[in-house]
Amino acid sequence: MSIMKLSIGPQHPISAHFRFLLDVDGDVVLKLEPDVGYTHRGIEKLAEKRTYLQNLPVIERVNSYCDSAGTMLGYLEVIEELMGLEVPERAKYLRVIAAELNRIASHLYAASLFSVATGLETMLMWPINDRELILDLLERLTGQRITYTYQTIGGVRFDMPDGFKEEALKRLDYLEKRTEDYYKMLLWNHTFHMRTKKVGILRPSDAIKLGVVGPNLRASGVKVDVRKDEPYEVYDRFDFSIPTGKNGDSYDRLEVRFKEVGQSINILRQALKDIPKGPIKKWVPPIVPKGEAYTRVEAARGEFGYHLIGDGSMKPYRLKISPPSFRNLIALPHLCQNIPLADVPIIYISLDLIPMDVDR
């Protein structure tokens, strides 16, 4: 049979704002070439034209609808490193709480998208419903559901409201119990195993060579987590483990995310217990001194890298963002060689790529 060129996206039920150019022979995909850039907003250029404070809501939108708290944390880290600023203790805890809640929301979202790629719509709705509980919690804390602009230079903007701690603990207990239902419905489902096990196997050596990060790298069995390697904020005070997968297939990539939800619940419980009293924000001048810094944070999708060059003014001279989805994107053409067409959506969704994150 001759080779057919098939274009998936940008308007396709599964593709989001991507386009994939496929070479298909019968039912076998020979080659996949991603075409990205549909949501490119030029955030790196925008950041050079705006002050550090004005940049806060812009940077957040690098990865807006899933993990804006985790994204923001890296930007603040890099500024505070250049300034040599020490943030109040309570603010550090609140930042971690926001980031971890957001990680849970993001992983639940990833799980629901994953099950829709296999065609199980029930598990699309269940995690999305439970994600709403977390977003609700974040709304109480920050005033917004999706884009918070909660963490700011020198601290956070609001303190915890009354009764937040009890409500959060209650919901985390519920979520932990609920995860068992997910296991019964999805992860122990035989048909689901048939579709996802041994599909899109990313070997550890390849994963490192390609520079894959985050849960995708850990699913391949490489134990890398910025929270452990270079603890930022107060992550060195919590007791948690790094879940890793064995085979590096699509199933492992989902399972690692589920286990990470458990670890996030673990961290949140400790953070809510230990949080000290005190100020939540330190006043800082809006000028960042001359210098250069590179910081890494572990957001939900993986490691965010921020490279900032300050020239002593109110605006950054250069801000390079190295987002996790951009770095995971390269795994997609690597995995989509000589596979059935039906596996393409599963591999794509299992990498948990977000177009906005790739394009910036």
Residues that bind another protein (CB under 8 A): 4, 6, 12-14, 24, 27, 36-37, 40, 42, 44-45, 49, 115-122, 124-126, 129, 185, 189, 191-192, 194-195, 208-212, 222, 224, 229-230, 294, 296, 303, 305, 307, 309, 317-318, 320, 322, 326-327, 329-330, 340-345, 359-360
CB of 334 to another protein, least distance (A): 9
Q: Give the CB-side neighbour count of residue 61, counting CA atoms within 13 A.
A: 13
The length of the chain, given as a count of residues: 360
Nearer to another protein, 207 or 234 (CB): 207
Residue 321 and residue 194 in contact, taking contact as beta carbons nearer than 8 Å: no
The rounded Cα 292 to chain-centroid distance in angstroms is 25
Q: Which helix (H) or strand (E) holds 67?
A: helix 64-83
CB of 342 to another protein, least distance (A): 5
CB of 128 to another protein, least distance (A): 9
Nearer to another protein, 150 or 359 (CB): 359
CB of 42 to another protein, least distance (A): 7
CB of 283 to another protein, least distance (A): 25
Exposure b/e, 86-106, CB count within 10 A at least 16 = b: ebbbbbbbbbbbbbbbbbbbb
Nearer to another protein, 194 or 287 (CB): 194
Q: Which helix (H) or strand (E) holds 272?
A: helix 250-274
Alpha helices (H) in the chain, listed in sequence order: 43-49, 52-60, 64-83, 89-118, 122-142, 164-182, 190-196, 204-210, 215-219, 226-229, 250-274, 324-329, 331-335, 344-350, 355-359
CB of 117 to another protein, least distance (A): 5
Nearer to another protein, 150 or 348 (CB): 348
Nearer to another protein, 255 or 303 (CB): 303
Give the residue among 137, 144, 147, 142 at the shortest CA–CA distance from 72: 147
Is-cis flag, bond preceding 204, omega within 30?
no
Nearer to another protein, 68 or 220 (CB): 220
CB of 8 to another protein, least distance (A): 9
C-alpha to C-alpha distance for 329 and 323, rounded to whole angstroms: 10
What tokens appear for 290 in the block?
Answer: 């001359």
